[in-house]
Amino acid sequence: MRLSKKIYRSRDKMIGGVCAGIGEYFDVDPTVVRLLCVLAVLMGGAGIVAYLAAWIIIPQA
């Protein structure tokens, strides 16, 4: 069985579309993903590196 669902950065974006794209992929409100990303940034800064890496790696829709 092959999964045909792929992740893309969303055009409904605030900064890079990463959180909105992840929200669309997992069928979660993008606001929840954005809040989790902000928490990851505040909990040590690893969220910044992860966000930038996702911005570079995930293609735009």
pTM of the model: 0.81
The string of pLDDT tens digits covering residues 20-52 is 999 999 999 999 999 999 998 898 888 888 889
Sequence-ordered strand ranges (E) for the chain: none
Question: Which of 25, 26, 28, 17 has its CA nearest to residue 60?
Answer: 17
Torsion of CA 48, 16, 54, 4, to 10 degrees: 150
Are 9 and 23 spatial neighbours (Cβ–Cβ below 8 Å)? no
Residue-range domain boundaries for the chain = 1-61
Helices then strands (H, E): number in the chain?
Answer: 3, 0
Backbone angles phi, psi at 27, to 5 degrees: 55, 50
